[in-house]
Amino acid sequence: MVEIELVPEDLSNEDNTSYVEMSKADIWFLKHLLKKYNPKKIVEVGVSAGGTTVNLLNWKDDNAKLYSIDISTQWYQDETKSIGFFASEYEQQEDWKFFKGKDFLDVYKEIGDNIDFIIIDTRHAVPGEILTFIATLPQLKDGCIVVLHDLHLNMMYINEDIIDIYYNIASHCNALLFGGVSSHKKWTVKNDPMTNIGAFVVDDTTRENIKDVFHILTSTWEYFPDDLDLDAYDEYVKEHYSTETYNLYSNCMKLQSKLFNLNPKIEFSTDKK
Ligand SMILES: C[S@@+](CC[C@H](N)C(=O)[O-])C[C@H]1O[C@@H](n2cnc3c(N)ncnc32)[C@H](O)[C@@H]1O
């Protein structure tokens, strides 16, 4: 594996920084990869207000198509606003398709394969982006660039002496994915040892060693993904991955489900006698 640390440059006045849940260095990183590799089929999973969507639409080639997906219909920071409201002026454009209230697996047939650039920026807590990556990989072209945001959200807040157990300590899903996935090439940003954005190329090793990513699902989950169509996930994993990998997935889902159903009955003792 070759790990490349990109040195961020200044953004231009045309680059949007409003309603983007990213630092300027992270915005530059995304722009750099998009401009350098000039993808034709781009997928954005996790839209929020739509600040990054606006950038992707402005940076992409005229003949490239962007598919944006968000599982919510309303913006989590202000539920009176629709998901992606900041990008609403682009909604009639033919080169942008926005799926609101959907997960990738609900719409993958409409998107199709040959995706050559994807940014995954959703829950940040396990199983979040692990399940999204498992769902997207069969549709990704060899050579596709996968960008993961909020790689080290958990560390960022500790660094600033802010500890919020619910959102921050558990926000290590993309760090596990970035570290656990196989690729000949990974990129991070060289401005901070705790860089918060990373990317890798999908290649033969990514597919060969994909069971390593499924193993991450055996770690303790922060939440149970009731918002996903888990029957569809089961069928999809069975169809697209090896029998061994499916068996690992299926057993893991059963045990995680059992754990979450048991949870109210579990008493964790701190008594050391
Ligand atoms: C951190 S925000 C995205 C920020 C955005 N990428 C940006 O740069 O401004 C996370 C978003 O992911 C969405 N989300 C969570 N789980 C999802 C899933 N399985 N599929 C699609 N979107 C999801 C949430 O509704 C939320 O709007």
Q: If you ran DSSP here, which 8-state letter would residue 11 be given?
A: P
CA distance 125 to 225: 11
φ and ψ at 229, to 5 degrees? -85, 90
Per the DSSP assignment, residues forming a β-bridge with 189 are 6
Residue whose CB lies within 8 A of the most ligand 1 atoms, among 29, 34, 43, 72, for a mutation test: 72
Could you tell me if the CB of 84 is within 6 A of ligand 1?
Answer: no
- This prediction has a pTM of 0.94
Instruction: HSE, CB side, 13 Å, CA atoms: give it for residue 14.
Output: 6
Mean pLDDT across 220-239? 96
Per the DSSP assignment, residues forming a β-bridge with 41 are 65
Could you tell me if the CB of 26 is within 6 A of ligand 1?
Answer: no
Angle at 80 between CA 76 and CA 84, to 5 degrees: 60
Contacts 24+ apart (CB under 8 A), 152-160: 152/194, 152/195, 152/196, 153/124, 153/196, 155/194, 156/194, 156/196, 159/194
Mean pLDDT across 2-23? 94
Atom of ligand 1 nearest to the CA of 228: 19
Supply the pLDDT for residue 17: 97
User: From the CA of 241, how far away is ligand 1's center (Å)?
Assistant: 26
Could you tell me if the CB of 151 is within 6 A of ligand 1?
Answer: no
pLDDT bucket at 195, cuts 50 / 70 / 90? confident
CA distance 123 to 118: 16
Residue 66's nearest CA partner among 45, 81, 86 is 45
CA distance 171 to 129: 11
Could you tell me if the CB of 55 is within 6 A of ligand 1?
Answer: no
CA distance 207 to 191: 31
Could you tell me if the CB of 22 is within 6 A of ligand 1?
Answer: yes
The answer on pLDDT for 272 being more than 60 is: no
| Amino acid at the residue 160 | E
Helix (H, G, I), strand (E, B) or coil at 116: strand
Domain 2-212 has CATH 3.40.50.11890: no
Residue whose CB lies within 8 A of the most ligand 1 atoms, among 66, 123, 230, for a mutation test: 123
**What's the order of all strands across the beta sheet hosting 197-201?**
2-6, 185-189, 197-201, 140-149, 115-120, 41-45, 65-70, 96-100
Domain extents in the chain: 2-212
24: Cβ contacts below 8 Å, ≥ 6 apart: 8, 11, 17
The answer on pLDDT for 265 being more than 70 is: no
User: From the CA of 70, how far away is ligand 1's center (Å)?
Assistant: 6
Supply the pLDDT for residue 262: 75
| Amino acid at the residue 199 | A
pLDDT bucket at 154, cuts 50 / 70 / 90? confident
Per the DSSP assignment, residues forming a β-bridge with 99 are 69
Higher pLDDT, 154 or 141: 141
Supply the pLDDT for residue 120: 98
Could you tell me if the CB of 21 is within 6 A of ligand 1?
Answer: yes
The answer on pLDDT for 104 being more than 70 is: yes
